[in-house]
Amino acid sequence: MNIQTHILIVDDDPEIRSLLGRYLGGQGFRVSVASGKRECERHIDNGNPDLVVLDVTLPDGSGLDICRSLRDRRSRLPVILLTALKEDVDRIIGLEIGADDYLGKPFNPRELVARIKAVLRRTGHDDTQECESKIYSFAGLEADPEQRRVSRQTGEAIDLTGAEFDLLRVFLERPGRLLSRDQLLDLTQGRDRDPMDRSVDVLMSRLRRKLGESDTGLIFKTIRNGGYQLTVPVKVSTVSR
């Protein structure tokens, strides 16, 4: 992991900020900390972090509101939400507004580091990652994994979050294959699925809406008790970088 990777920790608990600051610093990250919304926004404007670890509950505002604002201002900045273990509603809303992952409190700092590294790899912030040179064409759309960009034939870009792009890429690399929710969660987030976990369904709903299934026809098929399947042909071409 690049030693210059900059992580912003936003949490109102000084002990958590101190613990994570020391631990992540020991793992080779550059760390900034913020105790609330205003301080967080100042760090984002001036510090240019590569990833934000964001508590949902802050004294001067909601972490969900910050996440929503970031998706409007800096759609590609990865966000990992910290939530209480029973805040299922907050987790679902967080995914709906564009969080890349979430972690329930209390948690082991080692798990947070693993999640951070996984999100950085998926969102293209890991400098050790080998560049892709494939372009996927499907349903009048084009996906470029290296640029993490999806566009229509007209050239209009489609703004996907990191988690949405990761999910799409899994399907493009496995066209026509039925993928269960467990498989999708493992392939995109590297973790097992809780029986009550709706994150895959939430992401699928958002992905379908953004790709415009109503305009281009059916792109994905939902198989009851089975999972999801990409139903359109996929053409793969290579480009020189």
| Helix, strand, or coil (residue 234) | coil
**Backbone phi and psi for residue 200, each to the nearest 5 degrees, phi listed first:** -65, -45
pLDDT value for 234: 93
For domain 6-122, which architecture applies? Answer: 3-Layer(aba) Sandwich (3.40)
Give the residue extent of every domain in the chain: 6-122, 134-238
**Is there a common fold for 6-122 and 134-238?**
no
For residue range 225-237, list pLDDT tens digits in order. Answer: 889 999 999 999 9
Asked if residues 63 and 56 have their Cβ atoms less than 8 Å apart, the reply is yes
Q: Is the pLDDT of residue 85 over 70?
A: no
Strands 79-84 and 101-105: parallel
Enter the pTM of the model.
Answer: 0.60
At 143-168, the pLDDT tens digits run 998 888 899 988 899 998 888 888 99
Sign of the dihedral defined by the CA atoms of residues 93, 99, 100, 104, in that order: negative
For domain 134-238, give the CATH number.
Answer: 1.10.10.10
For residue 224, the model assigns a pLDDT of: 87
Give residue 240's pLDDT: 62
101-134: pLDDT as tens digits: 888 888 889 899 998 988 888 776 654 444 446 8
pLDDT at position 168 is 94
Q: What pLDDT, on a 0 to 100 scale, did the predictor assign at position 34?
A: 92
Contact present, 165 and 148 (Cβ < 8 Å): yes
pLDDT in tens, 185-225: 887 776 555 555 678 888 999 999 999 876 557 899 999 88
217 φψ region: left (φ > 0), alpha (ψ -120 to 50), beta (else): left
With b for 16 or more beta-carbon neighbours within 10 A and e for fewer, the 37-60 pattern comes to bebbbebbeeeebbbbbbbbbbee
Q: Which alpha helices (H) appear in 86-198, and where do they start and end?
A: 88-96, 109-122, 162-172, 181-189
In angstroms, the CA 124 to CA 150 distance is 15
Model confidence pLDDT, tens digit, residues 23-80: 998 888 989 999 988 899 888 888 789 999 999 888 888 888 888 888 777 667 899 9
Q: Which helix (H) or strand (E) holds 214?
A: helix 213-216
SS3 34: strand
Kindly tell me if the per-residue pLDDT of 86 is higher than 60. Answer: no
Percentage of the residues of the chain whose pLDDT score is greater than 90: 33
3-state helix, strand, coil in the chain (%, to 5): 40, 25, 35
